[in-house]
Amino acid sequence: MISAQNTIRPRPHTTYRSFVEAHIRQSIAQCYQCGKCTAGCPVAYTMELTPRRVIRALQLGLENELENSSTMWICLSCLTCSARCPREINIAGVMEALRLATIGKKPTPDQKKFRLFHDLFIMSFQFSGRAYELGLGMAYNVMSGQFLNMASIIPGMLRRGKLAFLPHKSRGSETQHIFQRLEGQNKAMNQAEAGTK
Ligand code: SF4
Ligand code: SF4
């Protein structure tokens, strides 16, 4: 039986909740836990905290659970959850905010793995405009020390044309331009912040 003592009460003002709500400019109190976000998320089955549970953890102020979760690094930013939410909560934005909020913290071993993959994916996209799967997989295996991770499926994928030997170079210059603009914006923001201190 649940007693009043061990009931977790919602906490409207915690560090992560305030940061997330400022980032998405919405109140996550709007969430009524219907679970449509999790039901549509293509990678929810790999997450220990699904999107619905992330929102609940924010509502309840479960900061440790959020900080030790890998969910925000597994998230693909596909926006399916945000599109399905009947309360129009920007859940993909919540994941982005949690990545920003935890980026300077010491990662757990799982977070380290997912963050490495995340960073390599972004680098691959920045370089060629599309993910270069073979290079990404090889770089991940070398840098994570799992040299033969999934190596057995590579010959079959190459044979069926599911993996390319060389990176696609079609939109590389366009994406590099986008990244340069983002870097410029970040620099300007940092300078503006430094000026207000
Ligand atoms: S879909 Fe929206 S309202 Fe439903 S659980 Fe997810 S965040 Fe909450
Ligand atoms: S944006 Fe992230 S959390 Fe939302 S459905 Fe896509 S992968 Fe899942």
DSSP 163: S
CA–CA dist 25, 78 (Å, integer): 20
CA–CA dist 78, 92 (Å, integer): 8
User: Looking at the predicted structure, is the pLDDT value of residue 2 above 60?
Assistant: no
12 vs 22 pLDDT, higher one: 22
Of the listed ligands, the closest to the CA of 29 is 1
The highest-level CATH class for domain 15-102 is mainly alpha
The pLDDT of residue 186 is 83
Which residues have C-beta atoms less than 6 Å from ligand 2?
40-43, 51, 75-81, 91-92, 95
How many separate helices (H) and strands (E) can be counted in the chain? 11, 0
CA–CA dist 84, 35 (Å, integer): 10
Please compute the mean of the pLDDT values over residues 78-99 and round it to a whole number: 97
Confidence band of 132 (pLDDT split at 50, 70, 90):
confident
CA–CA dist 10, 57 (Å, integer): 9
Cβ partners under 8 Å of residue 114, min gap 6: 70, 73, 74
* CA-nearest residue, atom 2 of ligand 2: 75
Could you state, in order of their start, the residue ranges of all structural domains in the chain? 15-102, 109-196
* pTM (predicted TM-score): 0.82
Of the listed ligands, the closest to the CA of 49 is 2
Tally Cβ neighbours within 10 Å of residue 24. Answer: 18
Report the C-alpha dihedral over residues 35, 67, 43, 124, rounded to 10 degrees. 140
Write down the residue that tokens 């599109």 correspond to: 83
CA–CA dist 43, 74 (Å, integer): 7
